[in-house]
Structure formats: structure tokens, C-alpha cells
Structure 1
Amino acid sequence: MPFFRSLWSGRAARLAAILAIVTLTFSGCAGLFGGDPLRVNVAGIEPLAGQGLEMRFNIKLRVQNPNDSAMSFDGVSLDLELNGKPFASGVSDQSGSVPRFGETVVNVPLTVPAFAAVRQAFAFADAAQSGQIPYILRGKLAGGLTGTSRFVSQGTLSLPALGMAAP
């Protein structure tokens, strides 16, 4: 019986040590996950060569980190809605880091399926009176040491005036 008691106390001690290490590790990382969300804004849009009936764009995202530790990422995913309807999506295997209290620009190619473009053309005709198109950009910066960071950026796009130019 003393053999089993010493074996059990040895296992219990090892289990307690493992639990203590895991607890300390996660509490040490808690500061990384409890920070403020990233700020993501569209910095620019450039046309890309399309394939078939698709339109393609390169969207430049300015990612700002308001935290006191760098945030690394390994992949980006985006979904763009115009007028409350899905319009474009894109992914990139770009990796990098957003420095503490810093910013970086991330490039993501977006694809607009032909049917989405046709559907939005009709929506643009309806929105031409107000000249404003609401958009929502949802995405995530994946991976890295801090895990996946999701973001949402929304606003309105201004359509150019469609009136006739005076001579």
C-alpha cells in the first residue's frame, strides 16, 4: 500500500505542476488577447486584370494597432458588401506584423463575380439619386502569435455627379 500511495502522490504532484505551468502560460498570454481591436480602413483601390466575366481589384488596407505589443498575422480574408448585398471577396497569404502603436498597409486582391456586378449596377441606378452607397468591409487577419483578429469597417461611397457639364 505505501507503494501505491507514493506513486499516487508522485502523479498528483506532476499533474499539479503541469496545471500550474498551463495556468501561468495562459495568464501570461492574456495581455496579448485583451487589447484594443485593430483599426482597419480602406487606403486605396486599384484595378487588376480580370479573368472571364469577373472584375478584380487590389484593395489596400491601412491597419493600425493601438496596443502596446506588436500583432503578427499570417493571411488575410475580406468580404465587401455594397448596399447590404455581397459584392466582392478576397484572400491573401500575406504575412507580417503591425508594430506596437504603429500601422502597416496590407494588399488584398478582391474578386467581383459577374452576377454581383450586374446586381449592383441596378442598385447603383437606385442610389444615384442620393449619390451615396453604404458599404461594409468584414475581414480577418489570421494566425500569428496573438490569434485571429477580426475587423469591420463601414461607411459610404460617394458616386460622382451624373449631371451634364455646362458648356
Structure 2
Amino acid sequence: MRSVHAVLISLLLCLGACSSLPYMDPVKINVVGIEPLQGEGMEVRFAVKIRVQNPNDTTITYNGIALDLDINGQPFASGVSDEGGSIGRFSDTVVSVPVSVSAFSVIRQTYGISQMKRLNNMPYILHGKLSGGVFNTMRFVDSGTLNLPGSTTGKR
């Protein structure tokens, strides 16, 4: 009976501790650029530049970032960076994350693009996380369409 009481008291203390954590609005992410990087073998690499906005009244400190990029509903690229930093209250910063694209993904996307007969306005979804420790990791999602400069629509 004593052990049951001890467990209940422990659970109540844990719940009380969780409820005392401050509420944080999710970070806002926008893809602001994609630049080519040197790859190896049949691998293609890019630096994905994202703007991270902190809509909170407290500084966000992070010590790593991970990204997964889907294009046309298919996995396309993924990457990680151990870059760390902080984003001040009600502030933003641009973070660059190197991502890798497998040759298979390039072939799959090339086939999908040929089926769509266009290179512009490809839908993308970017999933990721800013790692800030056990209780401060922030996950994010951004979606939109890629607008490639100088792309063709397939019409003449």
C-alpha cells in the first residue's frame, strides 16, 4: 500500500513539474535558398538555407539541426548539422544545412518532372528539428512550391 502511495505522489510531482514549463510558440521556418555543394560519386549535395523565426519572448538556444526535404510527395534529400547558436526573442536568423540527395532520388524526381512536363512550382515539404536538449527540441514543418529561376513550363 505504501508503494502505491509513493508512486501516486511521484506521478503528481511529475505532472506538476511539466505544467510549470513555459509555453513556447512553434518556430516559423522559410526556405530562403538552395545552393549546390561538392558531392561524392553519384551523390548530389546542396546547402539548404532556412530562415528561423522565434515568435517567443525568450531566446531559443540550439546545438544541432536536422532536415528532410520531400518534393512532389517523394523523399528527396536529408541532412544534419551540428551548428549551434541562439535566436533572440522576437528575432530571426538564417541557418545553412548541407543535405544529400541519392542518385535514386534524382532519377525518381527526373521521371516525375517529365511526367508533369514542368520544372516550376514543384510542391515541397520540409520537416526538421532544432535540437536544444531533452525539453527544448523544437520540430517544424514548412511547405510550399519551389520556384526555380529560369525554369521552363514545357510550353512553347
Question: Fold match, TM over 0.5?
Answer: yes
1:81 lines up with 2:55 in the alignment? no
Query: How many residue pairs end up in the alignment?
Result: 146
Note the aligned Cα RMSD (angstroms): 2.6
1:50 to 1:83, Cα distance in 2 relative to 1, 3 A = same
Letter in 2 for 1:107: S
Higher helix share: 1
1:139 lines up with 2:114 in the alignment? no
**Cα offset for 1:97?**
0.7
**Cα offset for 1:128?**
2.6
TM-score by length of 1: 0.77
1:67 lines up with 2:56 in the alignment? yes
Letter in 1 for 2:103: A
1:112 to 1:148, Cα distance in 2 relative to 1, 3 A = same
Q: Quote the residue 2:139 is aligned against.
A: 150
Match of 1:110 among 85, 91, 99: 99
1:110-148 residue CA offsets vs partner (Å, 9 max, x unmatched): 100000000100111122348421100000001248511
Q: Quote the residue 1:100 is aligned against.
A: 89
1:125 to 1:117, Cα distance in 2 relative to 1, 3 A = same
- Higher gyration radius (CA): 1
1:129 to 1:109, Cα distance in 2 relative to 1, 3 A = closer
Q: Quote the residue 2:38 is aligned against.
A: 49
Match of 1:90 among 64, 76, 79: 79
1:107 to 1:118, Cα distance in 2 relative to 1, 3 A = same
Q: Quote the residue 2:110 is aligned against.
A: 121
Q: Which runs of 5+ in 2 are unaligned?
A: 1-8
TM-score by length of 2: 0.82
1:23 to 1:132, Cα distance in 2 relative to 1, 3 A = closer
SS in 1 for 2:58: coil
Q: Quote the residue 1:161 is aligned against.
A: 152
**Cα offset for 1:161?**
1.7
CA contact (8 A) 1:38 1:151 kept: yes
Q: Percent identity?
A: 49
1:157 to 1:23, Cα distance in 2 relative to 1, 3 A = closer
**Cα offset for 1:44?**
1.1
Letter in 2 for 1:54: E
